[in-house]
Amino acid sequence: MAAQRLITPPKLRRGTLRTVALGGLGEVGRNMTVFEIGGKLLIVDCGVLFPEEEQPGVDLILPDFSYIENRLDDVVGLVLTHGHEDHIGAVPYLLRKKPDIPLIGSTLTLAFIEAKLTEHRIKPYTLEVKEGDVEDFGPFQCEFVAVNHSIPDALAVFIRTEAGSVLHTGDFKMDQLPLDGRITDLRHFAKLGEEGVDLFLTDSTNADVPGFTTPEKEIGPTLDQLFGTSNRRIIVASFSSHVHRVQQVLNAAHAHNRKVAFVGRSMVRNMGIASKLGFLDVPEGILVDMKKVDNYPDSEVVLMSTGSQGEPMAALSRMANGDHPIQVGQGDTVILASSLIPGNENAVFRVINGLLKLGTDVIHKGTAKVHVSGHASAGELLYCYNIVKPKNVMPVHGETRHLIANGKLAEDTGVPSDRVILADDGTVVDLHQGVAQIVGQVECGYVYVDGSSIGEITDNDLKDRRVLGEEGFISVVVVVNRQTGKIISGPDIHARGVAEEDQVFKDIKPKISRALTEAIQDNKEHTTHQLQQIVRRTMGSWVARKLRRKPMIVPVVVET
Which tens digit of pLDDT belongs to each residue from 533-542?
A: 777 787 777 7
Please, are residues 52 and 155 in contact by the beta-carbon 8 Å criterion? Answer: no
pLDDT band at 2 (very low <50, low <70, confident <90, very high): very low
- Rounded to an integer, what distance in angstroms lies between the CA atom of residue 550 and that of residue 468? 10
DSSP state of 275: H
Q: What is the pLDDT of residues 468-525, one digit of tens each?
A: 555 667 777 877 776 666 777 777 777 766 655 666 777 777 777 777 777 776 666 6
Rounded Cα distance, 101 and 127, in Å: 11
Give me the pLDDT at residue 535, please: 76
With cut-offs at 50, 70 and 90, classify the pLDDT of residue 54.
low
pLDDT of residue 471: 60
Instruction: Please count the other Cβ atoms lying within 10 Å of the Cβ belonging to residue 335.
Output: 29
pTM summary value: 0.80
> Amino acid identity, residue 211?
G
Length reported for the chain: 560
Buried b (16+ CB within 10 A) or exposed e, 487-500: beebbebebeebee
142-162 average pLDDT score = 95
CA distances (Å), origin 83, targets 75, 106, 220, 449, 473: 21, 9, 23, 20, 43
Query: Distance between CA 145 and CA 183 in Å, rounded?
Result: 10
Q: List, for residues 425-470, the tens digit of each pLDDT value.
A: 999 999 999 999 999 999 888 877 665 556 555 555 555 555 555 5
CA nearest neighbour of 75 among 167, 137, 23, 157: 137
Q: Which pLDDT band, with edges at 50, 70 and 90, does 360 fall under? A: confident
CATH number of 17-211+374-451: 3.60.15.10
Q: Which fold has domain 459-559?
A: Ubiquitin-like (UB roll) (3.10.20)
DSSP, collapsed to helix, strand or coil, labels residue 480 as strand
Q: What is the mean pLDDT of residues 206-230?
A: 90
Q: Which CATH number fits domain 216-363: 3.40.50.720, 3.40.50.10710, 3.40.50.850, 3.40.50.1820?
A: 3.40.50.10710
Q: Is 244 annotated as a binding residue?
A: no
- Across 132-156, average pLDDT: 95
Q: Which residue of the set 175, 185, 198, 203 is catalytic?
A: 203
User: For residue 209, what is the DSSP state?
Assistant: S
- Place 1 in a pLDDT band, splitting at 50, 70 and 90: very low
Instruction: Identify the pLDDT of residue 309.
Output: 63
Lowest mean pLDDT among 57-66, 101-110, 311-320: 311-320
* pLDDT score of 172: 94
Sort 531 into a burial class: Cβ within 10 Å, 0-12 / 13-18 / 19+: buried
120 belongs to an annotated ligand binding site: no
Lowest mean pLDDT among 158-167, 199-208, 210-219: 210-219
**In this structure, are residues 535 and 520 in contact, taking their beta carbons and an 8 Å threshold?**
no
Domain boundaries along the sequence of the chain: 17-211+374-451, 216-363, 459-559
Q: Which residues pair with 104 in a beta bridge?
A: 79, 127
Which of 188, 244, 254, 375 is an active site residue? 375
Let me know: does 128 contact 106? Beta carbons within 8 Å: yes
Instruction: Determine if residue 373 is labeled as part of a ligand binding site.
Output: yes
Distances (CA, A) of 326 to 145, 231, 318, 481: 42, 18, 9, 61
Give the bridge partners for 437, in sequence order: 430
- Residue 84 annotated as part of some ligand binding site: yes
**pLDDT tens digits, 91-110:** 999 999 999 999 999 999 99
Is a pLDDT exceeding 60 seen at residue 242? yes
Check if 203 is active-site: yes
Measured at the CA of 262, the angle between CA 258 and CA 263, to 5 degrees, comes to 125
Rounded percentage of the chain residues whose pLDDT exceeds 70:
86
Tell me if residue 412 is catalytic.
Answer: no
Q: How far apart are CA 351 and CA 50, in angstroms?
A: 17
Share of the chain above pLDDT 90, in %: 46
Please compute the mean of the pLDDT values over residues 52-59 and round it to a whole number: 57
Does 224 appear as a known binding residue? no
- Pair 377, 210: CB distance under 8 Å: yes
For residue 332, pLDDT over 50 is answered with yes
171 is in an annotated binding site: yes
Residue 311: the pLDDT is: 61
Q: Average of pLDDT values for 157-170?
A: 96
- Is 371 annotated as a binding-site member? yes
The chain-wide mean pLDDT, for the chain, equals 84
